[in-house]
Amino acid sequence: METRELRYFIAVAEESHVGRAAQRLGMAQPPLSRAIARLERRIGAHLFIRSPRGMTLTSAGQTLLREGRAALAAVEAAERRTRRTIAAAGRASVVLTAKAGASSELMAELLDAYAAEPDAVDVEVVLSPPGHQGPMLRDGRADVAILHQPFDDISGFDVDRLNVEGQVLILPADHPVSRVTSLTVAEATSIPDLPLPRWPRLDGTYPDGPGPELRDLTQVLQLVRLGRAAIVMPESARVNVRDGLAVVPVSDAARVTTVIAWPPQSVSSGVAGLVRTASRLYGAPHDRPTAAGTERGPGT
Amino acid sequence: METRELRYFIAVAEESHVGRAAQRLGMAQPPLSRAIARLERRIGAHLFIRSPRGMTLTSAGQTLLREGRAALAAVEAAERRTRRTIAAAGRASVVLTAKAGASSELMAELLDAYAAEPDAVDVEVVLSPPGHQGPMLRDGRADVAILHQPFDDISGFDVDRLNVEGQVLILPADHPVSRVTSLTVAEATSIPDLPLPRWPRLDGTYPDGPGPELRDLTQVLQLVRLGRAAIVMPESARVNVRDGLAVVPVSDAARVTTVIAWPPQSVSSGVAGLVRTASRLYGAPHDRPTAAGTERGPGT
DNA sequence: GCGGCGCGATACCGCAACGGTATGACGCGA
DNA sequence: TCGCGTCATACCGTTGCGGTATCGCGCCGC
């Protein structure tokens, strides 16, 4: 199966409509119809059920959509990382991504400590909105990421745990709720005049709702100070708190685990060094030994 | 990048020789040369250094080889699993792979318990030589696997731990060493007249060495009983031990962790059910929550 | 120093496959 | 029953892929 066929299939599956998919792909409808039919013949299974209202996936089609998306991301990651290997003109380099404003102390320490290593390479830090780090790691726009469980999906990555902490509500200092000593999640998310902010989806659009549209945490804190929003975040964000802000622990909020994550194949020397440094500074011993792969034993 | 180009690149990279790679791919040398040159132009980087003795990889080429292999396996996995989805003729089915003879009690319990679930699907069990389970899971020949750390490479898979145990040496009952109460790894692997067996590599060939060539554990135990071999394996293999065999604990051997592993995207209902059953029977609570992906929080 | 050898690159050709335009088949609602 | 929206089919031009023949170029041996 060629990646072009996979791209075509995914477009049709997502649109449930050959015409719209063709438009999205910048081609005419008939060749796309034929390409899908050819793919079905080659695989030996019907992927779609044709109806006069469009195309719906069969169970085989659902399998191919799930697995195909991951496979296509892997191919694109391979291509992107290859291109980046030489973009640095002989000088190796690593792209690290993290939520804007998150774990800032930890990251500063990590980058300083890594830069002091003898074999350190350049680290390009890409800050992006919450939820965008995993996809960037999957499709090769980044080589290593700082993620936060349970918010980020770490499945398929190798990880080292760095930190565990509780969460707090940050709100305007003059708000009446700021005087309580503790809150529940239900209470924190339902303060009527302080909506929680909304974050962009992967395509850059925003979900509907009452809160303001934001892209990073400095914007949030500004809005909170102006009395226009409140936000629940890990305790470590206290370091960003200045005058005009109040902090209230949220007793039953999920504990947040900060991890450093990397794609399992990509054991470039830069990534390995960063992970080693992070593990030395914060880590428990690895819970998933990464280099066990080549070892072969008698087995059980 | 098309998968055909990737296959060409990998062949040339592995052979370091366009002619041999072309032969392996069943094509002539010139079109392969051109395809590689075209790929380099499209990526915008030299992937090979041409010499009068052949082709050697640049650093960009090494990146593409590492990442490309994984990407190609992912594409092949998508295709295989799609094909298998319908091969079961509407009836969902799951392929589980494990080392022949390993964790047999655990597997029997697991399969029985799963079959008793209300939504259970057919489980096809594929037993294969040690070390072959991971690759089968990666390229789609299997959907879920029983693996053993530290022998198997679990990077890139989601896993649940099922069991932890020590290792023992199994040897002929009449052998003098069988009278000691404990051994070290160094002692166990250097008994001169009892060589450790050799297992097939992924391509089916065997490494050089003194031991017999084997494919599964029943063969081993037969040979041990005949006084022709000895083997170090996890304690649970004691259940296979009959007359004529002796068991000696190996004190400093690595502890073996049995895990159930599955590819992160492939959360088909059959795999999910098997994992749930395994987790209920043996599991600690998940250390890597698998379904956290869609959850989106305010982040830190 | 020169010819032969082994390597990848280039030139040229034929064909398969891809994409575009025009049109058909079919179900559904007005 | 007509019109619309959907996907499929027919036909055509072009692209690009692979095959054969040949070149260019280091290297080694005589």
Q: Determine which helix (DSSP H) or strand (DSSP E) holds A94, and give its type and residue range.
A: strand A93-99
pLDDT of A225: 87
A216 compared with A236, residue with greater pLDDT: A236
Answer yes or no: do B151 and A231 touch at CB < 8 A: no
- Which tokens in the block code for residue A25? 């792909």
Nucleotides of C under 7 A from a protein CB: 6-11, 18-23, 26-28
> Cα(B215)–Cα(B250) distance, rounded to whole angstroms?
23
pLDDT of A90: 56
CA distances to A243, B39, B91, B201 from B88, rounded to whole Å, are 65, 39, 5, 30
Answer yes or no: do A67 and B74 touch at CB < 8 A: yes
Answer whether the bond into residue B52 is a cis peptide, omega within 30°: no
pLDDT of B186: 87
CA distances to B48, B152, B169 from B236, rounded to whole Å, are 49, 18, 12
Q: How far is the CA of A60 from the C1' of D3 (A)?
A: 35
CA atoms within 13 A on the CB side of B65: 16
Q: CA-CA-CA-CA torsion for A226, A230, A234, A240, nearest 10 degrees?
A: 0
Closest CA–CA distance from residue B182 to any residue of chain A (Å): 19
Question: Which is it for strands B144-149 and A256-262: parallel, antiparallel or unpaired?
Answer: unpaired
Position B88 confidence tier, pLDDT thresholds 50, 70, 90: low
pLDDT of B40: 94
The predicted-structure confidence for B140-197, as pLDDT tens digits, reads as follows: 999 999 999 999 999 989 999 999 999 999 988 888 888 888 889 888 888 877 888 8
Backbone φ and ψ for A185, nearest 5 degrees, come out as: -60, -45
The predicted-structure confidence for A84-126, as pLDDT tens digits, reads as follows: 886 655 566 899 999 987 788 899 999 999 999 998 899 999 9
> Cα(B281)–Cα(B109) distance, rounded to whole angstroms?
9
> Cα(B277)–Cα(A57) distance, rounded to whole angstroms?
29
| Contact call for residues A60 and B85 (beta carbons, < 8 A) | yes
Helices (H), chain A: 3-15, 18-25, 29-43, 59-87, 104-115, 133-138, 185-188, 217-225, 269-282
| Angle (CA) A89 A94 A96, round 5° | 145
Q: How many CB atoms lie within 10 A of CB A192?
A: 6
Closest CA–CA distance from residue B232 to any residue of chain A (Å): 7
> Cα(B152)–Cα(A292) distance, rounded to whole angstroms?
7
CA distances to A221, B23, B25, B31 from B52, rounded to whole Å, are 63, 19, 22, 19
| Contact call for residues B43 and B58 (beta carbons, < 8 A) | no
Closest CA–CA distance from residue A268 to any residue of chain B (Å): 8
How buried is residue A276: exposed, middle or buried, by Cβ count under 10 Å (0-12/13-18/19+)? Answer: middle
Q: What one-character DSSP code corresponds to residue A300?
A: -
> Cα(B21)–Cα(B32) distance, rounded to whole angstroms?
8
Question: Which is it for strands B256-262 and B158-165: parallel, antiparallel or unpaired?
Answer: antiparallel
* Residue nearest D25 (alpha carbon to C1'): B52
| Sheet (strand A158-165) strand order | A122-128, A93-99, A144-149, A256-262, A158-165
Which of B11, B21, B24 has the alpha carbon at shortest distance from B61? B11
- Measuring from the CA of residue A22 to each C1' atom, give the nucleotide at the shortest distance: C19
The predicted-structure confidence for B94-114, as pLDDT tens digits, reads as follows: 999 999 877 888 999 999 999
Answer yes or no: do B149 and A299 touch at CB < 8 A: no
pLDDT of A284: 63
pLDDT of A152: 93
pLDDT higher than 90, residue A273: yes
Position A203 confidence tier, pLDDT thresholds 50, 70, 90: confident
| Contact call for residues A144 and A77 (beta carbons, < 8 A) | no
Near-strand C residues (CB closer than 7 A): A 4, 26-31, 34-35, 38, 52; B 17-19, 29-30, 33-34, 36-37, 50, 52-55
Backbone φ and ψ for B92, nearest 5 degrees, come out as: -60, 150
**A242-275 core/surface letters (b: 16 or more CB in 10 A; e: else):** eeebbebebeebeebbbbbbbbbbbbbebbbbbb
* Residue nearest C23 (alpha carbon to C1'): A30
Helical axes B29-43 vs A59-87, angle rounded to 10°: 70
Contacts of A215 in chain B (CB under 8 A): none
- Which tokens in the block code for residue B222? 């037969």
Answer yes or no: do A79 and B156 touch at CB < 8 A: no
Residues 6+ apart with CB under 8 A from B208: none
CA distances to A42, A60, A111, B140, B292 from B83, rounded to whole Å, are 10, 7, 46, 10, 29
- Measuring from the CA of residue B22 to each C1' atom, give the nucleotide at the shortest distance: D18
Q: Mean pLDDT of all residues in chain B? A: 86
A86 compared with B76, residue with greater pLDDT: B76
Q: How many CB atoms lie within 10 A of CB B198?
A: 17
| Contact call for residues A15 and A21 (beta carbons, < 8 A) | yes
Q: In the predicted model, what is the mean pLDDT of residues A255-278?
A: 90
pLDDT of A266: 67
Q: Mean pLDDT of all residues in chain A? A: 86
Question: Which is it for strands A167-172 and A144-149: parallel, antiparallel or unpaired?
Answer: unpaired
| Angle (CA) A134 A139 A274, round 5° | 60
Q: Which amino acid is at A234?
A: P
| Contact call for residues B254 and A298 (beta carbons, < 8 A) | no
Answer yes or no: do B74 and A81 touch at CB < 8 A: no
Domains and CATH numbers, chain A: 3-82 (1.10.10.10), 93-156+261-287 (3.40.190), 167-249 (3.40.190.10)
CA distances to A110, A114, A143, A227 from A118, rounded to whole Å, are 15, 9, 20, 48
pLDDT higher than 90, residue B24: yes
Instruction: List the end-to-end C-alpha distance of chain A, in Å, as a whole number.
Output: 37
Q: How far is the CA of B54 from the C1' of C4 (A)?
A: 19
Answer whether the bond into residue B150 is a cis peptide, omega within 30°: yes
* Strand ranges in B173-264 using DSSP code E only, listed in sequence order: 231-234, 245-250, 256-262
The predicted-structure confidence for A2-12, as pLDDT tens digits, reads as follows: 999 999 999 99
User: Nearest residue of A to residue B267 by CA position?
Assistant: A66
B289 compared with A61, residue with greater pLDDT: A61
Position A296 confidence tier, pLDDT thresholds 50, 70, 90: very low
CA distances to A90, B116, B142, B269 from B273, rounded to whole Å, are 49, 11, 15, 6
